[in-house]
A and B are shown apart, each in its own frame.
Chain A
Amino acid sequence: MKVNELVCATDLRNTGYGSCVFNPGKIVSAIKVPTNFSIPDAFATSPSQLRTYLDQARLADAPSQRIWPVHGFKAYTSSSEDLVQQTLGYGSQVPIRDGNYRWTFQFTDGGLCLLKALQSHNFQSSRWIFVDDQGVMIGWRRQVATGGSFDLTGIPLTFHAMKWDPNDGANIASYRLYFDFEPQYINKYLGFLPVEGFAIQEITGLQDINLVQSGVSAAGVIKILAKTGCDGSNLYDLYSTQLAAAGLWNAVNTSTGNAITITSVAADANVKGFTVTLSSADPDYPGAANGEVTITLGGPTELDAADISGFEGRPITVVRG
Chain B
Amino acid sequence: MKAPITEISFNAEGLKRLGYTKQQFIDEFSKIYPEADLNAYADNMGLISGPTVEKAAATFAPIPPAGPDEKVSDPIGGAAATGKEAKTKEKEGGK
User: Taking beta carbons and an 8 Å cutoff, which residues of A are in contact with B?
Assistant: 221, 244-248, 250, 258-259, 261-270, 275, 277, 279, 281-284, 306
Contact = CB atoms under 8 A, between A and B. Distances in A.
B63 A246 contact: no
Nearest to B15: A263
Contact of A268 (B5, B18, B29): B5
19 contacts: A245-B9, A245-B94, A247-B91, A247-B95, A259-B88, A261-B14, A263-B11, A263-B15, A264-B32, A265-B9, A266-B8, A266-B9, A268-B3, A275-B5, A275-B33, A277-B32, A279-B14, A281-B20, A283-B64
B68 to A, nearest CB: 7
A258 B84 contact: yes
Contacts of B29: 264, 277
A264 B11 contact: yes
Given A261-B90, A283-B64, A283-B83, 10 more contacts: A244-B9, A247-B91, A259-B84, A259-B87, A263-B15, A264-B9, A264-B32, A264-B33, A267-B7, A269-B3
Contacts of B76: none
Top 3 A-B pairs, shortest CB-CB distance: A247-B95, A283-B65, A247-B94
Interface in B62-81: 63-66, 68
Nearest to A257: B68
A267 B5 contact: yes
Interface residues of B, number: 32
A284 B64 CA distance: 11
B11 to A, nearest CB: 4
Contact of B94 (A246, A258, A266): A246
Interface string B24-56: 000001001100000000000000000000000
Contacts of B15: 263, 279
B30 to A, nearest CB: 12
Contacts of A259: 84, 87-88
Contacts of A221: 32
